Chain A
Amino acid sequence: MPEPLSQETISREIAELAARSDGGDHPSRDYPPYRSSGLRHPHRPLVAPPEAYAELRGPVFGASDVTPLDADLTRQHPGEPLGERITVTGRVVDRDGRPVRGQLVEVWQANASGRYPHQRDQHPAPLDPNFTGTGRCLTDDDGRYAFTTIKPGAYPWKNHVNAWRPAHIHFSVFGTAFAQRLVTQMYFPGDPLFPYDPILQSVTDDKARERLVAAYDHELSRPEWSLGYRWDIVLDGPSATWMEEGR
């Protein structure tokens, strides 16, 4: 029997890789502290295609794809979900700061107890009959999205013994080019689980990692109703030269 994998071992690996950070914006696909990455990252370097067409354009979504209720995760069932009601809003922009307009933003998250309505989630925490935890909306002309939901709970997972994910909301975002596609996770400020989590720590650059953490914004909180968080999203690539030269 192999030794159970301890947090101490994972934390040591996290520290070693942080010390060797190349300052990149994205995680390395080969990040051993996240054990599942082991067999699921390419060994060969990525190939820059001499030319790209479809990747410089992207799918479009519109009024038919989203209903207004989709952006309020607290109103998808007859009753109110349990938990701390929050709003999350921000802008989707490209690397030049230009708003991404009319594009689809999708979110999914655990309920307040840290449980997903997915049969593979075996966390012995209660499901909430009044909360599914999925939402979608289109960005407005300023690139802005907004969701009303409840604050998700932390949850355990099997990466190592006593592994817990910090509370997070999964985001899926489209840009104007397919090459700008982003799937990521938004975290909540000051979560004590940050240093222990190999998924968040896979972003080894401190400044880049901070960009995954929303800001609490008291101006966005609504009296007697909800707490407000702000989180802006900057989509990467394709580089300006790609777009201009159509390489």
Chain B
Amino acid sequence: MRPTPSQTVGPFYGYALPFRGGGDLVPPGHPGAVSVHGYVYDGAGDPVPDALLEFWQADEAGNLDGRPGSMRRDDVDGSFAGRDGVTFTGFARVATDLGGHWTLRTVRPGGPPYIAVCVFARGLLHHLYTRVYLEDAGDALLTSLPADRRATLVAAPERDGVFRFDVRLQGEGETVFLDLG
């Protein structure tokens, strides 16, 4: 069967897709928690204030089964109840702020040493996939890339437990995006 074509997420998803605590895979103070943050930039080097990033990863033990509860709802009034603070769902969703900045709080994935990323934005007709490696794992993808491109997938340690990862959609330092077809 032929697939349904993609269309841009547009500019107005902000009241529909992001949810409170969407970027907090683990609560503050969680043992082993790491924060990954950065900007999304366009081809002119300007921050993109209307991008949406989704993250999907294994838990610390390398389990990729995932768990429900990312968008937990309150059954009384239908509002977002937020994550339960115990279940690691493996899924996060963060919209960039007006400055093009995003933040994810998570744990290091066990098993495959990366966090899978899906990028949506106004102006982007078809989402893009990339990966965040918290250190250069030297896996098959990273070793297949020239050094400058390889570096775009490896988050830079800023201080203890804090990593910087920018997404550059186009041009100088363009992020490696993946063909998963």
Contacts and interface: CB of A to CB of B under 8 A. Distances in A.
Interface in B113-147: 114-116, 118, 120-129, 131, 139-141, 144-145
A125 to B, nearest CB: 14
B105 to A, nearest CB: 17
A66 interface: yes
A40 B181 contact: no
Listed residue (B128, B174, B175, B180) with the most chain A CB atoms within 10 angstroms of its CB? B180
A109 B44 CA distance: 30
A237 B70 contact: no
A54 B57 contact: yes
Contact of B116 (A28, A178, A202): A178
B120 to A, nearest CB: 6
Task: Give the secondary structure class of B's interface.
Answer: loop
Interface in A1-58: 25-29, 31, 34, 36-55, 57-58
Interface string B143-175: 011000100000000000000000001110011
Nearest to A30: B125
Task: Give the secondary structure class of A's interface.
Answer: loop
A183 interface: yes
B69 interface: yes
B11 A182 contact: no
Interface string B46-60: 101000001011100
B113 to A, nearest CB: 10
Interface string A203-237: 10001110110000000000000000000111111
Interface stretch (A79-87, A115-123, A141-149, A188-196): A115-123
A160 interface: no
Contacts of A207: 2
B174 A170 contact: no
Given A40-B169, A59-B56, A65-B72, A170 B9 contact: yes
Listed residue (B10, B67, B175) with the most chain A CB atoms within 10 angstroms of its CB? B10
B133 to A, nearest CB: 12
A97 B1 contact: yes
B70 to A, nearest CB: 7
Nearest to B5: A203
A130 interface: no
Interface string A120-136: 11000000000011101
18 contacts: A39-B169, A42-B128, A46-B128, A47-B177, A48-B180, A51-B140, A53-B111, A54-B64, A59-B90, A95-B3, A107-B16, A110-B12, A170-B16, A172-B17, A178-B56, A183-B8, A203-B7, A208-B2
Given A60-B66, A234-B3, 15 more contacts: A25-B3, A36-B122, A39-B123, A40-B122, A41-B170, A47-B179, A64-B68, A69-B78, A108-B12, A170-B13, A181-B54, A183-B9, A183-B127, A212-B5, A212-B7
